[in-house]
Structure 1
Amino acid sequence: MKKISLIILFSLMVLNVFGQYTSPDSLSVNKNMKFKYKALIIPTALIAYGVIGLESNTLKDINTDTKEEINEHIDNKVTIDDFSQYSTFLSVYALNAAGIKGKHNFKDRTIILASAYLIMGSTVNVIKMTGNELRPDRTTNNSFPSGHTATAFMGAEFLYQEYKDVSVWYGVSGYLVAAGTGFFRMYNDRHWFSDVAAGAGIGILSTKIAYWIHPLIKKTIFKKKENLNGVIMPIYNGKQYGLGMSVSF
């Protein structure tokens, strides 16, 4: 119940912040940016499914049936999901390096990505630490939500937002990779379907919030910071792979 309460509280806080600046149809922080409530439908529905799945016997049965169906076709576990979770947002920097420019320059897109990662990472870790959902492989009690999936969908939405005006297919490819990451989390017996659904919703919503608050963050924190440099480095602690970001300004 603590986990559900935290998720509901997080959702109410998000809606409360939006509500402080809302017009009947959208939210506007400047002349060039509007946030439409319709953008919340998909991520909110995914998160709601995951939350309901914690208590609903019907959705728990779907979790079990999905696990059994996937297990029937498992030959060997693969670790591609440890890397694919990062590929979606790294693609934005790779495309820019290749000369295919997105919506924002290095400084702005890095601020947006850092904001999204902070929102997503904090939300996922708080829920995991306060929850008690046993993983399908019965190793730990921090199954809900899927952090790998949240990271992948955060990056997919980031890729979509940066390149939707260039070609929608960049975003489509990002979401396909993110969906694949979620599938392999279930394939490797690390997460239930409801964990993956909630992770996807948190990831998407985190990026949408990051874009919405970007003008405010840039104005208040980075107002006089013209130069922003950073590096992304791989991390391995002997058991898990990850990425570290260092930003100087």
Structure 2
Amino acid sequence: MKPTFFIVIFLLISYTSRSQNTQNDSVPSSNTTTFKPKALIIPTLLIGYGVVGLESHTLKLVNSEISEEVKEHIDDKFTIDDISQYTPFASVYALNALGINGKHNFKDRTIILGTAYLIMGGTVNVLKHTGTVVRPDGSSNNSFPSGHTATAFMGAEFLMQEYKDTSIWYGITGYVIATGTGLFRVYNDRHWLTDVAAGAGIGILSTKIAYWTHPFIKKHLLKDKETLNAMVMPFYNGHESGLGVIVSF
């Protein structure tokens, strides 16, 4: 059986982390993103596909057939997904550092990113720790959903929102990278297709919620905070690697 579900996703080949002070580095445009119900369609379909796949024998069969194909034809792992998951959102800061301004200044975009990361990370961790889906390689039972994919799609939507008024191609590139990240999770035998689909949906939705709630957060929770300093630092604890964000107001 050939899978008939296609995840439409989008990559930027630049990775820069740096600390900086708040500055007026945004393009002239509206800094608000209003809620639009139709924006829920794609992430809901992706999450729905992943959730249905937890019980659907048909989708489980698709997962198994893809995994068997991977194991049969691929011997070497290529773990670029450990880095590419961060590339889309890091690219927003890289582009601003290069003088290509996005929608929001440093303070606002960092608040939005932090909100999205909290929503995405909290959702993924709860689902992983309450689920019992065994990874394709049998290493653990926290396969659902894919955290790498969720991070990548969170960043891709962040890149899209910040730069769609400058050039739609920045966002498309970010989604290409996110798609590649998800595919490499399957390629490396770490996730099922349904894990990747759900992770993509969670990542996209988390960023959308962060943009929708940003005006409220800025007005009511951070109204007296005029400056913001932040630093993005890589970490490795012997088992996992990632990025840590240190923010001070």
The question of whether the paired residues in 1 share the 8 Å contact of 2:31 and 2:104 is answered with: no
1:145–1:64 distance in 2 versus 1, CA, 3 Å: same
- In the TM superposition, residue 73 of structure 1 has moved relative to its aligned partner by 2.8
- Please list the CA deviations of residues 49-104 of structure 1 after superposition, one character each: whole Å capped at 9, or x if unmatched: 00000000000011011112222331311221111000110000000000000000
User: Residue 57 of structure 1 aligns with which residue?
Assistant: 57
User: Residue 153 of structure 1 aligns with which residue?
Assistant: 153
Note the residue ranges of structure 1 that are not aligned, 5 or more in a row. Answer: 1-29
- In the TM superposition, residue 121 of structure 1 has moved relative to its aligned partner by 0.2
SS for the counterpart of 2:141 is coil
User: Residue 218 of structure 2 aligns with which residue?
Assistant: 218
- AA aligned to 2:139 is T
Q: What is the TM-score normalised by the length of structure 2?
A: 0.86
User: Residue 105 of structure 2 aligns with which residue?
Assistant: 105
SS for the counterpart of 2:77 is coil
User: Residue 12 of structure 2 aligns with which residue?
Assistant: none
SS for the counterpart of 2:86 is helix
Rounded Cα–Cα distance in structure 2 between residues aligned with 1:157 and 1:210: 11
Rounded Cα–Cα distance in structure 1 between residues aligned with 2:31 and 2:229: 28
Please report the RMSD computed on the Cα atoms of aligned residues, expressed in angstroms: 1.3
- Please list the CA deviations of residues 22-71 of structure 1 after superposition, one character each: whole Å capped at 9, or x if unmatched: xxxxxxxx995421110000000000000000000000011011112222
Note the residue ranges of structure 2 that are not aligned, 5 or more in a row. Answer: 1-29
- AA aligned to 2:112 is I
- Please list the CA deviations of residues 104-129 of structure 1 after superposition, one character each: whole Å capped at 9, or x if unmatched: 00000000000000000000000100
User: How do 1:68-107 and structure 2 match up within 5 A?
Assistant: 68-107=68-107
Q: Higher helix fraction: Structure 1 or Structure 2?
A: 1
User: Residue 124 of structure 1 aligns with which residue?
Assistant: 124
- In the TM superposition, residue 227 of structure 1 has moved relative to its aligned partner by 0.3
SS for the counterpart of 1:35 is coil
Q: Which runs of 4+ in 1 moved over 6 A?
A: none
Q: What is the TM-score normalised by the length of structure 1?
A: 0.86
User: Residue 247 of structure 2 aligns with which residue?
Assistant: 247
